Amino acid sequence: MIAIIEIAGKQYKVAPNSQIQVDLLEAQVGDEITIDKVLLKSEDDGKNCKVGQPYTGDSFTAKVIEQILGDKVIVFKRRPKKRYAKTQGHRQQYSILEIGKF
């Protein structure tokens, strides 16, 4: 069984008991959240497919496993002939969710 869900404006393909990495959510580690924005729900055989317009009306729970920082991205800006150079770093924050049963 698979589903396509929407979290924070992004779509993710999930299966029961799988883990996904999403942008930082306002939830603590160990909290259970309810996901009700299910765009598509399908069985493994592909015959039972429920497509929403825009959502199917199904919902399920996910547990916040961990809050992590992503890899560092270096931003370097330079203007030629102007003696201007600026280096900046950024690390995006992510939440790891464990999807429950549908």
Residue spans per domain, the chain: 2-99
Report d(CA 70, CA 93) in Å as an integer.
6
Please name which of 21, 27, 24, 3 lies closest in space to residue 13, comparing C-alpha atoms.
3
Report d(CA 7, CA 95) in Å as an integer.
11
What is the reported pLDDT for 40?
A: 93
pTM of the model: 0.83
* 81: alpha, beta or left? (left if phi > 0; alpha if psi -120 to 50): left
- Average pLDDT over every residue of 97-102: 91
- Average pLDDT over every residue of 22-34: 96
pLDDT tens column, 30-81: 999 999 999 999 987 777 888 999 999 999 999 999 999 999 999 999 999 9
